[in-house]
Amino acid sequence: MARATLLGPAEIRDLAEMLGIQPTKKLGQNFVHDANTVRRIVTASGVSAGTSVVEIGPGLGSLTLGLLEAGSSVVAVEIDKRLAAQLPQTVGMLQPAADLTVIVDDAMRVTTLPVAPTHLVANLPYNISVPVLLHFLEHFDSLQHGLVMVQSEVGLRLAAEPGSKIYGSPSIKAAWYGEFRAAGQVSRQVFWPVPNVDSILVAFDRRAARGSETERLAVFALVDAAFQQRRKMMRQSLSSLYGSSAAATETLERAGIAPTIRGEQLTVDDFLAIARASDVDLLATSRVAAAD
pTM of the shown model = 0.93
* pLDDT of res. 255: 98
Strand runs labelled E in 187-230: 191-192, 199-206
Q: Model confidence over 32-56: pLDDT tens digits?
A: 999 999 999 999 999 999 999 999 9
* pLDDT of res. 69: 97
Residue type at 121 in one-letter notation: V
DSSP secondary structure of 6-37: S--HHHHHHHHHHHT----TTTT--EE--HHH
* pLDDT of res. 292: 57
Using 70 as the pLDDT threshold, list the residues of the chain that sit under it.
1-4, 24-29, 288-292
Sign of CA dihedral 71, 75, 78, 82: positive
What 239-242 contacts at long range (C-beta under 8 Å, 24+ apart), as own/partner pairs, is: 240/285, 240/289, 240/292, 241/280, 241/282, 241/285, 241/286, 241/289, 242/278, 242/280, 242/285
Q: What is the CB-side half-sphere exposure of residue 49 using CA atoms within 13 A?
A: 1
Q: How many residues does the chain have?
A: 292
Which domains, from first to last, does the chain contain?
9-206 (3.40.50.150), 213-291 (1.10.8.100)
